Amino acid sequence: MPEHILSGIKALVAMKMRKEGKLQREIAEYLNIDRSMISHYLHGRYPSDRIMKISEVIAELPVEYGARIIHSLSNEKDIAKKLIKVIYNAKIKIDNDKCLACGACLICEAISIDGIEVKIDEDRCFLCGECISKCPMNALKFVEE
């Protein structure tokens, strides 16, 4: 079941990218999927209606919850990030006015601390959202790009 739901999320992303004018080839490259599968997604041949409904519910969740679910469905962090980017158009942001530089969020390679300044490397961030739950000051959050 989880891989079918992941396919549903990919189908939603493919449809959204197509609406935004991307070619099938570009969508296939972005998602690292065969073009024939993108064609199935775009023509509603796969996955089933039930799976698509579940996927739509996930896509309508607040990004904090949706990103967590997508990461739990995918073994590939970079693909999960791409799906989250298209669905939610989000990134992680730090509120330096709230941050106490306690270091509790230093749980991945994307976050570093320089003196009392915490930085997030967007290229290395997979948008998993785990750092948000580590911060005692509510200084980290998803924001729209």
Contacts with ligand SF4, residue ranges (CB under 6 A): 92, 94, 99-105, 107-108, 110-111, 118, 120, 125-131, 134-135, 137, 139-140
Task: Select 51 or 80, whichever has its Cβ closest to ligand SF4.
Answer: 80
Nearest approach in angstroms of CB 85 to ligand SF4 is: 12
Contact by Cβ (8 Å): 119, 112: yes
Specify whether the CB–CB gap between 91 and 145 falls below 8 A. yes
In the complex, least distance from residue 87 CB atom to ligand SF4, rounded to whole angstroms: 15
The closest alpha carbon to 38, from 51, 26, 21, 53, belongs to: 26
Q: State the nearest-atom distance from the C-beta of 16 to ligand SF4, in Å.
A: 22
CA dihedral for 58, 89, 79, 94, sign (positive or negative):
negative
- Taking the least distance from each CB to ligand SF4, the nearer of 30 and 126 is 126
Residue whose CB is less far from ligand SF4, 42 or 113: 113
Half-sphere exposure of 77 (CA within 13 A, CB side): 8
